[in-house]
Chains A and B, each alone.
Chain A
């Protein structure tokens, strides 16, 4: 005849990790609910044959030492963070069975965000929520679930609605979310309730085992020490008072609607070969055709947001990259990009680039008047300046600078859209500086313009800018 009563194998028979006191007894107080719940979880792990792949997460609270007792993989976590840690565990190995075991302070005060969002993502984990309406470990302070009028060390005159708000009903809150599969509140007030609690825990873990989604079991548990009662009084109090505020029952159960899932483990890194192929496919498809530069280019491109200033910089930088040079592109980033003016700095250099910001450009493209006013003075003597003469009213210093006045927006409009005014400028820049041949830049544009249907328009715009300078010059 087999033994009827046996300690579950998912609990250690001796608690070797326990540092103080007997290795055969738990650290919980007499009449505490944790011991009951630990046993019920362990039995379910045994019966469902999932103990080997189970991971128990114990955050701060009386159950912080869950790892003394559970013969499973164990994580101790920070206060309130158990659901986030459980998420990281489960996502790393979806084949594991993850139990986030939390008290009321942990789950419904400091860890409310983690609780709600793990539930809302429908993480395939099981959350066991011990609600005893008090902070036990830290010395009997008010919990988010402490009842109105209940005395605690931080509500010595009883919890008042006005000062502290009302007890938080977590099952009711979580049941409003579409993702969770199963939410039930049970109690430990009498043997009938305990039988129900056992069933609920088993069901929650079975749902996880079968990959049916998020399961949550709230357990009303006595805390005789925190409540300053003896164990029988505490059980009565639970039945008489707590149940009224926290009604027992199933708040949500859509386990029948959820299909079974199983997953592969993620426990090894991606294969090197697979990673290699993936990364190589990212490369910018520009074959190197080196071109010697007579001088480095230190450019400032500036104008209104929406004029394609940043893209102009990107195009020139990629031409420089194709030509085999060091390049850098730096945008003045942030809100100024969204509203008014935009500018970026581009270096194309034969040698290692120092500052990615351009303090003294030898090329300035100014597509509006404020840009002209702001940056003209910074240009080095003999530098190039390109001004949209249709937009800017100012006249640059022709003595000091090589000036190109070009109605880029108007030319672009004739080409087909004012949006390619930036590429008209690129054509003018390449023609005036004589750094890159027209065909070379156009070959580059064919590759780097992202929307293929716009390539022709861009090439035309480039030619128009180029020809304007050549005709003019």
Chain B
């Protein structure tokens, strides 16, 4: 097996190359810049395009242009830069273009800091741009998944003609792990029926998100809505660890799921029946799986690098069937296993908040 020891950020580009991405447009920002460095190195070597754009806004609009040509393309940034891309994401979703956008989340709000956080959950999963649209959001928790989920993101983007995004925290971007080098696969989509390539075959096509007449725009929105429902039905991905007999279910994603994973066996050794459910897709959210658990467990604990964002989706899934607890650190502080274990003990002993 060909393996490489690499940063999560570099693994994003490994996945992109394997997926047949041909153009990268980006703007430097810590802690996402290694993605642009890798793209600058590798894309031209494979006759692809790399441009360091003048702004995040320009980068996402270059993506709009290339995506409209029916060619796999991407951009990546970190939180403040991702905020700037929201305008473009709304247009890309509105024009139904396939594109991949990566967010290596740092501390906010405002300039915040460059340390890891997950406080972009809302802007990744609920939109942030204008209008009725959704973007697929995948949450890797290892360098291997940075590669694999990037490949998946390209496939989902093409399959649904919609942006697919990666939300990773600064740790998952910056840490190095062993990655199995993926086998590239052919791109099985022909977009001739809608894309504009600057040739006779696609001359009559139009890439646009404007529908001047309210009747038409309503129909367009309903069409998009139906697509999002199908994604919600078919594309939910999650992982479970020791949930079968769990009395306390922990819901955590990204690097937090790794820390929680380390604590589960320890907690079990103390006789605390805890299990982990890790959303791999944060949109669509694994609501149904959480609902099923909520009928059996005594409580659910959401752990996040935020002051409480994903917990809102957990509560919506639970609909009051069991208590939902929260533990979060923010500002770049990352909880240790010890303090998370303490939460289990308190909750299992009847303390709730």
Query: B147 → chain A, closest Cβ, in Å?
Result: 10
Per-residue 0/1 for B249-291: is the Cβ within 8 Å of any A Cβ (1 yes, 0 no)? Answer: 0000001001111110000000000000000000000000000
**In the complex the two chains form, is A81's CB within 8 Å of B64's CB?**
yes
A329 and B176: CB pair below 8 A?
Answer: yes
B258: chain A residues within 8 A (beta carbon): 353-356
Q: Does B186 contact A (CB under 8 A)?
A: yes
B262 near A20: Cβ-Cβ < 8 Å: no
The answer to whether A88 touches B65 (Cβ under 8 A) is yes
Binary contact readout B167-211 vs A (1 if CB under 8 angstroms, 0 otherwise): 000110011111001111111000000001111101101111110
Q: Which of B72, B183, B261 contacts A269 (CB 8 A)?
A: B72
A88 / chain B contacts, CB cutoff of 8 Å = 23, 25, 61-69, 73
Known: A266-B49, A270-B48. A85 touches B54 (CB 8 A): no
- On whether the beta carbons of B199 and A91 are closer than 8 Å, the reply is no
Knowing A55-B196, A91-B62, the reply to whether A275 touches B46 (Cβ < 8 A) is yes
Closest to B255 in A: A356
Provide the bound-state CA to CA distance between A85 and B302, in Å: 41
Q: Please, which residues of chain A bring their CB within 8 A of the CB of B87?
A: 78
Which of B65, B91, B209, B212 counts the most chain A CB atoms within 10 A? B65
A19 touches B212 (CB 8 A): yes
Interface segment, one of B221-229, B293-301, B330-338, B344-352: B330-338
Residue on B nearest A79 in the bound complex, by CB: B87
**Interface membership of B55, Cβ < 8 A:** yes
A357 contacts B334, C-beta separation under 8 Å:
yes
**With the chains together, A318 CA to B178 CA distance in Å?**
9
Q: Which residue of B lies closest to A59 (CB)?
A: B61
Residues of B contacting A354 in the complex (Cβ-Cβ under 8 angstroms):
258-263, 337
Q: Is A317 an interface residue (CB 8 A)?
A: yes
A270 with B20: CB separation less than 8 A? yes
Given A275-B18, A355-B262: A267 touches B197 (CB 8 Å cut-off): yes
Decide if B46 touches A17 in the complex (CB within 8 Å).
no
Taking a contact as CB atoms under 8 Å apart, the answer to whether B196 and A75 are in contact is yes
For the complex formed, measure the closest distance between the CB of B4 and the CB atoms of chain A, giving whole angstroms: 5
Partner pick for B178 among A93, A327, A330, CB 8 A cutoff: A327
Q: A142 vs B2: C-alpha distance in the bound complex, in angstroms?
A: 61
**Which residues from 8 to 45 on chain A have a C-beta closer than 8 Å to any C-beta of chain B?**
17, 19-20
Q: Are A75's CB and B208's CB within 8 A?
A: yes
**Taking chain A's interface residues, is the majority helix, strand, or loop, or is none over half, making it mixed?**
mixed
Q: Of residues 75 to 103 in A, which have CB atoms within 8 Å of B's CB atoms?
A: 75-78, 81, 84-93, 95-98
A279→B21 CA distance, assembly (Å):
13
A73 to B178, CA, bound (A): 45
Given contacts A19-B213, A55-B198, A321-B3, contact A78 B20 (CB under 8 A): no
Bound: A73/B199 CA distance, A: 8
A78 to B261, alpha carbons, bound, how many Å?
44
* Contact present for A74 and B181 (CB under 8 Å): no
Among A265, A279, A331, point to the contact of B184 (Cβ < 8 A). Answer: A279
Give the residue name and chain of the A residue nearest to B173 (CB).
A333
CB neighbours (8 Å) of A116 from chain B are 54
- Most chain A CB neighbours (cut-off 10 Å) among B5, B30, B170, B260: B5
B54 touches A114 (CB 8 A): yes
Residue of B3, B18, B63, B208 ringed by the most chain A CB atoms within 10 A? B208
Shortest Cβ distance from residue A70 to the other chain B in the assembled complex, whole angstroms: 10
Q: A272 CA to B262 CA in the complex, in Å?
A: 38
Q: Is B57 an interface residue (CB 8 A)?
A: yes
Binds B, one of A193-201, A280-288, A409-417, A424-432: A280-288
B residues in contact (CB < 8 Å) with A: 2-5, 14, 17-18, 20, 22-23, 25, 30-31, 42, 45-49, 51, 53-55, 57-59, 61-73, 87-88, 91, 95, 113-115, 170-171, 174-178, 181-187, 196-200, 202-203, 205-210, 212-213, 216, 255, 258-263, 334, 336-338
